Amino acid sequence: MRNLSVVTQFILLGIPHTEGVETMLFVLFLSFYIFTLVGNLLILLTIVSSTRLHTPMYFFLCQLSVCDIFFPSVSSPKMLFYLSGNSRAISYAGCVCQLFFYHFLGCTECFLYTMMAYDRFIAICFPLRYSIIMNHKMCAILATRTSIFGCIQATFLTTLTFQLPYCGPNEVDYYFCDIPVMLKLACADTSALEMVGLISVGLMPLSCFLLILTSYSFILCSILQIRSTEGRHRAFSTCSAHLMAILLAFMPVVLIYLQPTPNPWLNAAVQVLNNLVTPMLNPLIYSLRNKEVKCSLKKIFLPRCMTSLALCKNS
């Protein structure tokens, strides 16, 4: 990627119309960020520690937790840094990295949700062949491909954005470097690139969403054919957490990138939801809606808590 720019750094102006409430936002976003990291680390630790959770579904959930740890870490530390009264400047290379890793992790999550829907499709529609189809090798291949495709998409979008010359204004009217706000600062005609970027950003989530929708259409037909109420309820509860997470992940993308007339404040609010709130809620969704995860959490942490209490009493 050739840098034709004379701009060496950018200034992040932050979330529009939030002047004077920086301290409150710092406390709020820091709380979200800490809960996100702790919640996803707990899910990760629970899955790794519990042998009963070493199945394809929890393997993909483990990968999702890893993504949810790194995804908010792309923009949140810098945002918290300037909300606490420090410099809003970000280097050219730092801006490139922000945009690349934001789209890399975001695209990887989209592909990952699609793989998780495929996993549920095989488990419910072909239960007798599930262990044969979704073996360890297949899980590893699917997980690797999600990251590779995410990297390809992010590389394309980053190259598309930073091949342009940035030779004048350097104030980014946002709280991190993203495609729409960066194109506004370019010293060249960006209309064709905006169209290509919009198609690329919109087409990928739409394709994933259609594949997920197809998988769940077959899943719904299979669930309705289950005669026992208990079996039907178990199948629904297994899929409901995944469906909730999908809605939380895909709705912000639609609102941000596919709206006809962009609204900076709405975009920032939805982006915060996508960057901080959704990764924070995913562990709650999967732990509260899943009996196996709840049981494993109790088995791992309850004895340790009891031991700690006993030691406190003795001391």
Q: Report pLDDT digits (tens) over 44-91.
A: 888 888 888 888 888 998 999 999 999 999 999 999 999 988 889 999
What are residue 50's phi and psi, to 5 degrees? -100, 115
Residue with structure tokens 């506004």?
Answer: 184
> Can you give the pTM of this predicted structure?
0.85
**CB-based contact 107:42 (threshold 8 Å):** no
Distances, alpha carbon 290 to alpha carbons 15, 43, 197, 299, 301, in Å? 36, 12, 38, 15, 17
Structure tokens at 37: 């990291």
Measured distance CA(243)–CA(225) in Å, rounded: 20
pLDDT of amino acid 5: 46
pLDDT, tens only, 85-127: 888 999 999 999 999 999 999 899 989 999 989 998 998 888 8
10 Å CB burial of residue 97 (0-12, 13-18, 19+) is middle
Q: Is the pLDDT of residue 1 over 50?
A: no
pLDDT of amino acid 118: 92
Residues across the chain: 315
**CB-based contact 209:131 (threshold 8 Å):** no
10 Å CB burial of residue 18 (0-12, 13-18, 19+) is middle
Residue 172 bridge partners (DSSP): 12
pLDDT of amino acid 100: 95
Residue burial 62-91, b: 16+ Cβ < 10 Å; e: rest:
bbbbbbbbebbbbbbebbbebbeeeebebe
Measured distance CA(121)–CA(225) in Å, rounded: 14
Residue type, 147: S
CA atoms in the 13 A half-sphere facing the CB of 124: 28
pLDDT of amino acid 304: 56
Mean pLDDT (the chain) is 82
| Three-state SS sequence of the chain | CCCCCCCCEEEECCCCCCCCCHHHHHHHHHHHHHHHHHHHHHHHHHHHHCHHHCCHHHHHHHHHHHHHHHCCCCCHHHHHHHHCCCCCEEEHHHHHHHHHHHHHHHHHHHHHHHHHHHHHHHHHHCHHHHHHHCCHHHHHHHHHHHHHHHHHHHHHHHHHHHCCCCCCCCEECCCCCCHHHHHCCCCCCCHHHHHHHHHHHHHHHHHHHHHHHHHHHHHHHHHHCCCCHHHHHHHHHHHHHHHHHHHHHHHHHHHHHCCCCCCHHHHHHHHHHHHHHHHHHHHHHHHHCCHHHHHHHHHHHHHHHHHHHHHHHHC
pLDDT, tens only, 173-196: 888 898 888 888 888 887 777 777
